Structure 1
Amino acid sequence: MSGYTNENKTCTCTLSDNCVHQAGIYNLTGRVGLQIPLLFGSLANDAPLLLTIPGIMVGCLPYNSILASNLECFYNQSCIDQIQIFMKGFSLVKPLLLSHFEQNTTVNDLFHQLFIESWNPMINFTGYFHICSPNPCTYSYNRRFNLFYIIITIISLFGGLKTILYFSTLVLVIFIQRIQNCINVQNTNDEHSTMNQTNERNQ
Structure 2
Amino acid sequence: RLNITMLQISQFNLNSTIESILNNLMIEEYKSDISYENYFNQCKPSSCSYSYIKTHDITQTTMFLVSLYGGLVLITRCLAVIFAKIYQYRRNQIDPETLQQNI
Q: Which protein is richer in strand relative to its size? A: 1
Structure 1 or 2, whichever has the larger Rg, is 1
TM-score range, shorter chain: 0.3 to 0.5
Structure with more of its chain in helix, by fraction: 2
TM-score, L = length of structure 1: 0.25
The TM-score, its normalising length taken from structure 2, stands at: 0.46
